[in-house]
Every structure is written in structure tokens, then in C-alpha cells.
Amino acid sequence: MAEKMSIKEAAAVNGSRHVLGISGGKDSAALAIHIKLRYPKIHEKVEYFFTDTGAELQEIYDFLDRLESFLGKEIIRLDSGRSFEHWLKVHNGYLPSAKQRWCTRVMKIRPFEEFVGDDPVISYIGIRADENREGYISQKESIKAVFPFIDDGLVRDDIFQILEDTVGIPEYYKWRSRSGCYFCFFQRQDEWLGLKRNHPELFEKAKEFEQRERKKFDWQDGEVAVGGYGYTWSSQGTIDELVARAEKREKEQGIIASSKTSSVRWQDILRESDDDDADDQACLICSL
């Protein structure tokens, strides 16, 4: 486990690289801004990076451009060198899941660890003071982890204020609680519905992954089609089924309200809502 250190200790360290991973989510973006404004000397040293799977929403790329402009520094783009389709084939056609997060391992963590190599590194992580989780911390002994929000006592409302005062809140938060790939298997049913409404072409592409024919070799029958585990994005059914449930719930309970009939800004609704699920085990290196 990587050693932890305070931001004051980090500021005094010489000879180490300082890195901060931007996921496209609110917390890592606010952390980068917080460091620029409060710790300008550290900001000068920090290498900001974003690990691109090639399956991110356009809203994330747009937000990164705004953030990069505000920071006045390049956000280095990393990638695995291959597409999701390539890695899916490598993993025998099995879609990633909460139990088999191969997408995080090969498309997020591996590029990061190749980026830092064996250099001594201080990694800044956007876990807030009101959270009881740690996120991804590298197992490399050469990497030390710093949690500036915890050191400075910043909580969820502070993060929204930082963004509102600078680059704004990413647009996808209108209908989605996380950054990361458009087909993220941690999406809730209403988020799949949001994808269908906001990016119907990506929803159809996600469906194609579920509907593709997957085969295995049988010594008696040769190649035979196979379904079952790893065949759908969710263990609760196909995404068409998930969306149907969300639409039914919407009609019955009005869970997804239309912003067209309300004068309240969606940013304020988001800020007041409890969208952080303590039981959400999403890959924080993707969605923080």
C-alpha cells in the first residue's frame, strides 16, 4: 500500500514527481482547481493527466478543455494504446463487471503506472473530508498518496462551490452521477435511461455489445454460442430491460423530473441532492 503524507509534507519534498489524475468528475476537477488557487507552488510542479478509454462522453472532453484552460497547464492524455473492442476480445468476449473489472485494470491503472514508471511520485487524490473511502492508491512503494481535501477539511458543498466559481459543473451531471465510460456497468437504471435520451447512438452501441454472438469451443459440437455471465452489462438484465423499469418507475413515482417545467437550476438540484451513494463501489480512478 502506498504511503500517505500530508499536503504540507508534500510541498516540502524535492526530487519527486507530483501527479493528479483527472477523471472528468467533479471531485478531481475541484482538487486541481483547489491546488492551483491555494497551493500555487505545488500547482507549478503537478503533472495533470487524464486516462482516456476512448469510450468517454463528449461532455467529459468538453469539460476537460475548460478545465485545462483554467489551469493554464496541459492535461496530459494517456491511453492503453488499444480500443475497448480489442481488450474485450483479449478477455474472451466477457463484458467487464463489478467482479471482473478488467477495463479499469488494463485501460486506466496500467497506463497510469506506465506513465509514472519507477519514479518517486506524489499522487494527489480527491477524496473529501466527508467521505469514508480511499479510492485507488497504487501498490507501488515509489508512490505516496496525498488527500488535500481531507487535510483542509473540504466537504461536498465546498466542491460544488469551487466548480461554480470557476469552470462550472460538468453537463452530464444533469442525468448521470459519475464520469467514466458511457457503458459503465455501475450505472443505475435511471442513468441507462439518461444515456438513451441524451446519447441514443451510444445507447445503441452499448446494446450491440450485449447482442453480439459469443462462442466457445466444445470438443463434441465444435464452436457453440454461449450466453450467461458476462453477456449483459448488468446482472439485473439487458439494458433494454433496465430502461423499461426506469421508465415504469418514472411514470409511477416521477423519479426523473423534467427540468423544462421547473425554474430551479439543475446545478442547484444536484447540489442539494444526495447523489453520493456510500454503497456505490464504482472504480474511483474512473469516476472520482
* Least confident range of 104-113, 165-174, 229-238: 229-238
Separation of alpha carbons 266 and 157, rounded Å: 15
Of 15 and 271, more confident: 15
Q: What is the pLDDT of residues 108-133, one digit of tens each?
A: 999 999 999 999 999 999 999 998 77
- Residues paired with 89 in a beta bridge: none
Rounded (10°) angle between helices 189-198 and 239-253: 100
Q: Which residues contact 182 (CB under 8 A, 6 or more apart)?
A: 55, 56, 57, 195, 199, 202, 205, 206
- Residues paired with 122 in a beta bridge: 18, 144
pLDDT at 260: 47
Q: What is the pLDDT of residues 248-265, one digit of tens each?
A: 998 888 654 444 445 566
Comparing CA positions, the residue from 182, 180, 181, 174 lying closest to residue 202 is 182
User: What pTM was estimated for this model as a whole?
Assistant: 0.85
Whether the predicted pLDDT of 12 surpasses 50: yes
Q: What is the rounded average pLDDT for all residues in the chain?
A: 86
| Contact criterion met (CB below 8 Å) for 63 and 170 | yes
